[in-house]
Amino acid sequence: MRVPPVLSVHRHDTDNRASITLTGEINLNSAPLVHASLERCLHDGIRAIDIDVTAVTFCDHNSLNGFLYALMHTAAAGGSLQLHHPSPALERLVALTGYGSLFLALPDAHAGYRTPPQPLLPPPAAQWLAPTLPVLPGGVL
Per-residue pLDDT of the chain (141 residues), as tens digits, is 565 568 999 999 998 899 999 999 998 888 889 989 999 999 999 999 999 999 999 888 778 888 888 888 888 888 888 888 888 888 888 778 777 766 654 444 334 444 444 444 444 444 444 444 444 455 444
Give the global pTM: 0.69
- Rounded Cα–Cα distance for residues 141 and 133 (Å): 9
Q: At what angle do helices 61-76 and 88-97 cross, to 10 degrees?
A: 70
